[in-house]
């Protein structure tokens, strides 16, 4: 408001300076009247038809200044009340004027073409399918509360992928309640939209996926150390939890991850490493209690006999790490899952282990990262030199079942004791929202066929079109 008063003073004084003489009272009256008519006020500089003296003019000027102050206050208040709408490549957001409340709308669509070669198991048909169809609504409810809701519409029925609320005490301490990814596996915690390959590695078959519970999480030391620890209903290896606790036991899970040189800009600034784990008792038989392991081609190659039951402690641990430097990326992970089992009066504690390493290289020079290529330097634009970002990836991994599982707990004629899988692929990021992927997958086995023979090697080509916003 004071800049308007200054403008008024300049308007009154400028002609006088130009003429090198003081304005007359009549001239000041006319200018004041014009400004009052423009910005609000009396609109006249006379009383009973007589010109005002300088003291009266000064009072009218002060009244005009106050009028302008009130108008500015009203304008500012309206701006604070008005919602801020933003639409960009990250989706759409609606934020209150004071920034306390926000709603973000995002989405992920993935359509696959899958084609199997020799060694394809029964039911592994060449097909097109809608792999993922997930809208996401997330945001804040004031300063302290955040939320997220993500349903899944791909498949034969709708389900809920994520639904949770965060109580944000500080960056170092956030309490999360609901359904979300258990804090154990590094690749499991990676968004499906950011995976370098179409499907996850064998090691993720041992780590829990989404579970229902409560978790304390945060970052300390300037974001260089992240942690999470929680209590959950518990879920079998590699799968989501069912809607309620199936056996009245809880599982305890946690993870610590360190990026010691994060933000330094040095050679090792993209190095991160940590360990995750879980422990809890499991009692029961069937798919809600015992795991089934799948290849990267999503065909099942191991399961326990139907009479086998989980009967005690389940323990997982997973050392993990990654290194990203410029266009190069490397992610590696190991996992161990041990379970106490019972069948026909016999008991045993069996351990399954797996590991994987994934290397990636962005051919067009953009930075590689845990969240994929954020945005191509030159989005796809034929005729103008824009061809997006191109990335090549390669992965190798193994999963090995405890020898003690055979033949009592698992049937060697249908369940393989070991699988080794490698994947090679190309990712094409046309822009920050559209990604095309081609993978060649090959998985070899030890055992898993009648007569002690090896199950045939599985070979497949998977393609994907992904839209994320």
pLDDT of the residue at 51: 55
| HSE toward the beta carbon, residue 448, CA cutoff 13 A | 25
What gap in Å lies between CA 359 and CA 456, rounded to an integer? 27
Residue 39: give the domain boundaries.
2-80
What average pLDDT score do residues 50-61 get? 66
In a domain, 216, yes or no: no
Q: What is the CATH number of the domain that holds 335?
A: 2.40.160.10
What gap in Å lies between CA 59 and CA 31, rounded to an integer? 15
What gap in Å lies between CA 47 and CA 55, rounded to an integer? 13
In a domain, 268, yes or no: yes
What gap in Å lies between CA 253 and CA 51, rounded to an integer? 84
In a domain, 224, yes or no: no
- pLDDT one-digit tens code per residue, 389-412: 999 999 999 999 999 999 999 999
* Contact between 188 and 181 (Cβ < 8 Å): yes
In a domain, 262, yes or no: yes
pLDDT of the residue at 75: 77
pLDDT of the residue at 21: 59
pLDDT of the residue at 433: 97
What average pLDDT score do residues 190-197 get? 96
pTM as predicted: 0.82
* DSSP code per residue over 78-101: HHHHSPEEEEETTEEEEE-TTSSE
**Mean per-residue pLDDT over the chain, rounded:** 90
In a domain, 167, yes or no: no
- pLDDT one-digit tens code per residue, 85-101: 999 999 999 999 888 89
Residue 325 and residue 400 in one domain:
yes
At 77, give phi and psi (nearest 5°).
-60, -40
In a domain, 312, yes or no: yes
In a domain, 217, yes or no: no
Residue 295 and residue 384 in one domain:
yes
Residue 261 and residue 322 in one domain:
yes
Strand (E) or helix (H) holding 277: strand 271-284
Residue 58 and residue 206 in one domain:
no
**Number of domains into which the chain is organized:** 2
* Contact between 157 and 146 (Cβ < 8 Å): no
What gap in Å lies between CA 358 and CA 351, rounded to an integer? 24
What gap in Å lies between CA 225 and CA 219, rounded to an integer? 6
- pLDDT one-digit tens code per residue, 415-428: 999 999 999 999 99
In a domain, 177, yes or no: no
Q: Is the pLDDT of residue 18 over 50?
A: no
Single residue among 62, 80, 98 that ends a domain in this structure: 80
């Amino acid at each position: 408001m004071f800049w308007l008063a200054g403008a008024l003073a300049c308007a009154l004084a400028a002609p006088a300076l130009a003429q090198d003489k003081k304005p007359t009272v009549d001239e000041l009256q006319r200018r004041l009247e014009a400004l009052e008519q423009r910005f609000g006020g009396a609109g006249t500089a006379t009383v009973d038809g007589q010109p005002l003296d300088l003291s009266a003019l000064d009072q009218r000027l002060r009244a005009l200044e106050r009028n302008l102050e009130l108008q500015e206050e009203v304008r500012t208040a309206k701006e604070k009340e008005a919602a801020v709408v933003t639409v960009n490549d990250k989706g759409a957001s609606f934020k209150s004027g004071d920034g306390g409340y926000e709603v973000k709308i995002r989405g992920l669509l993935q359509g696959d073409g899958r084609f199997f070669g020799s060694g394809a198991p029964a039911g592994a048909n060449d097909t097109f399918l809608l792999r993922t169809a997930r809208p996401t609504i997330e945001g804040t409810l004031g300063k302290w509360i955040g939320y997220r809701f993500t349903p899944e519409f791909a498949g034969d029925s709708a389900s809920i992928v994520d639904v949770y609320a965060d109580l944000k005490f500080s960056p170092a301490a956030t309490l999360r309640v609901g359904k979300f990814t258990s804090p154990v596996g590094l690749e499991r915690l990676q968004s499906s939209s950011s995976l370098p390959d179409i499907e996850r590695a064998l090691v993720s078959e041992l780590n829990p996926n989404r579970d229902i519970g409560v978790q304390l999480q945060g970052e300390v030391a300037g974001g260089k150390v992240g942690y999470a620890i929680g209590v959950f209903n518990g879920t079998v290896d590699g799968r989501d939890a069912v809607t309620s606790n199936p056996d009245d036991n809880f599982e305890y899970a946690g993870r610590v991850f360190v990026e010691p040189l994060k933000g330094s800009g040095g050679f090792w600034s993209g190095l991160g490493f940590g360990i995750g784990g879980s422990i809890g008792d499991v009692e029961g038989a069937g798919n809600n209690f015992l795991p089934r392991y799948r290849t990267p081609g999503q065909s099942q190659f191991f399961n326990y006999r139907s009479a086998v039951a989980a009967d005690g402690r389940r323990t997982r641990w997973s050392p993990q790490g990654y290194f990203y430097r410029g266009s190069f990326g490397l992610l590696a992970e190991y996992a161990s899952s041990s379970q106490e089992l019972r069948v026909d009066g016999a008991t045993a504690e069996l351990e399954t282990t797996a590991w994987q390493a994934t290397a990636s290289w962005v051919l067009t020079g953009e930075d590689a990262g845990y969240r994929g290529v954020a945005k191509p330097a030159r989005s796809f634009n034929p005729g103008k030199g824009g061809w997006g970002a191109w990335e090549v990836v390669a992965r190798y991994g193994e999963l090995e079942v405890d020898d003690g599982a055979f033949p009592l707990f698992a049937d060697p004629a249908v369940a393989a004791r070991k699988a080794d899988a490698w994947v090679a692929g190309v990712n094409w990021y046309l822009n920050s929202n559209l990604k095309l992927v081609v993978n060649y997958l090959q998985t070899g086995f030890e055992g898993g066929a009648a007569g002690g023979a090896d199950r045939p090697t599985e070979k497949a080509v998977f393609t994907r079109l992904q839209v994320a916003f």
